[in-house]
Amino acid sequence: MTTLRWGVLGAANIARKQVIPAIQASNNGRVVGIASRDKARAEQLAQTASIGHVFDDYAALLASDEIDAVYIPLPNSEHRAWTIAAAEAGKHILCEKPLALTASEAEEMVAAAERAGVILAEAFMYRHHPVVHTVLEMLHQGVIGELRVVRSTFTFNLSNEGDIRLSAPLGGGALMDVGCYGVNLARLVTGAEPLTGCGIADYGSSGVDESFVGALRFAPDGRAAVVAEVDVSVRAAGGTSYELIGTQGKIVVRQGFKPDANEEGEIQLHQHGDVSRIFTDAVDQYRLMVEDFGKSVLLGRPLAYPAQDAVANMRVLDMLRTAAEQARR
Ligand SMILES: NC(=O)c1ccc[n+]([C@@H]2O[C@H](COP(=O)([O-])OP(=O)(O)OC[C@H]3O[C@@H](n4cnc5c(N)ncnc54)[C@H](OP(=O)(O)O)[C@@H]3O)[C@@H](O)[C@H]2O)c1
């Protein structure tokens, strides 16, 4: 097998705008099937995205011999059930972030994939961008001294009051939708898991946290503690930046999680009162993510980020959610 045959569960916005085009442009995959609760919607998307086969429903797609791997861009509440169903059908799975509603759900999903001998990955595209690799290398080289503070923000204004992000039953909320990025980044740059954390949320009339501030403390082995702040909102003007502050300087990435695929990646290095800029290639990080997944399935290479990472990420989201709920009482 040289080309991975992908199926997509649901005609989701993220599938239509980013991930299906990324797979169709990739060097090792092709979307060959799509299923939707609304067949007409799937047919329309199939036509615009050159997808050959429209299935009657998600289960029919999973039952097909023509599909090797599925991409799951369903509401967060649906990730667990459909990932497990896909694993049991023998399909490899790229599931949207956050992988599940809780760490225990994520563990069940990882166990199901292991039992079935299929690959499972969480679709955190940002960490496939060369900016992230360069930042990690800079930290490793001690360019900013010892890392002490991580600060990230991911905010935007929802335009649709019917959005899945405002639905508690569907697993909405700012922490789940975008807080998962800041948590993932903090874990990635510290190379550690937080020992303690607290959170404060603003809950909207929808019942979900519409803005959230999380604080985490990491104590990486043999190194000084690092504190991280994760600011997110679905009711604030757009921003996706992060800052890594060390004892001798600061790294700033202004387009942190969703850099424009047509622009070079940019990292600012603040040192001794000067600011220098480091540039990386303009890339489609979604394409790099699906190609990494494809290499893992087709060539047996380890994923850049194993599914177990998603379980650890969910543990931190559980901790922050619980802390904010306690603070609310
Ligand atoms: N990595 C990224 O950059 C990124 C960006 C945005 C979103 N996401 C993630 O992708 C997932 C989908 O987000 P989205 O913004 O694309 O959502 P969306 O446009 O609302 O799509 C979700 C899809 O799920 C299907 N679905 C199944 N059960 C549903 C239900 N009960 N209610 C609503 N939809 C249901 C629908 O497809 P059919 O009706 O066609 O079956 C719907 O189109 C979420 O997990 C989100 O966190 C990731």
Could you give the CA distance from residue 173 to residue 195 in angstroms, rounded to a whole number?
24
pLDDT at 40: 95
Active-site residue, 258 included: no
Atom of ligand 1 nearest to the CA of 176: 47
pLDDT at 66: 97
Could you give the CA distance from residue 253 to residue 241 in angstroms, rounded to a whole number?
6
Do the beta carbons of residue 187 and residue 221 sit within 8 Å? no
Q: How far is ligand 1, taken at its centre, from the CA of residue 18, in Å?
A: 12
Ligand 1 in contact with 133 (CB < 6 A)? no
Question: Which stretches of the chain score pLDDT less than 50?
Answer: none
What are 14-25's pLDDT values in tens digits?
999 999 999 999
Enumerate the CATH 3.40.50.720 domain ranges in the chain, comma separated: 4-123
Ligand 1 in contact with 12 (CB < 6 A)? yes
Enumerate the CATH 3.30.360.10 domain ranges in the chain, comma separated: 126-283
pLDDT at 221: 85
pTM: 0.98
CATH number of the domain located at residue range(s) 4-123 in this protein: 3.40.50.720
pLDDT at 200: 98
Do the beta carbons of residue 186 and residue 263 sit within 8 Å? no
The DSSP result for 160-216, as a single string, is -TT-GGG-TTTT-SHIIIIIHHHHHHHHHHHTS-EEEEEEEEEE-TTSSEEEEEEEE
Fold of 126-283: Dihydrodipicolinate Reductase; domain 2 (3.30.360)
Could you give the CA distance from residue 304 to residue 4 in angstroms, rounded to a whole number?
18
Of all protein residues, the one whose alpha carbon is nearest to atom 43 of ligand 1 is 12
| Both tokens assigned to 194 | 């937080």
Helix (H) or strand (E) holding 278: strand 274-280
- Residue (of 67, 101, 55) closest to 81 by Cα position: 101
pLDDT at 63: 98
pLDDT at 99: 98
pLDDT at 301: 97
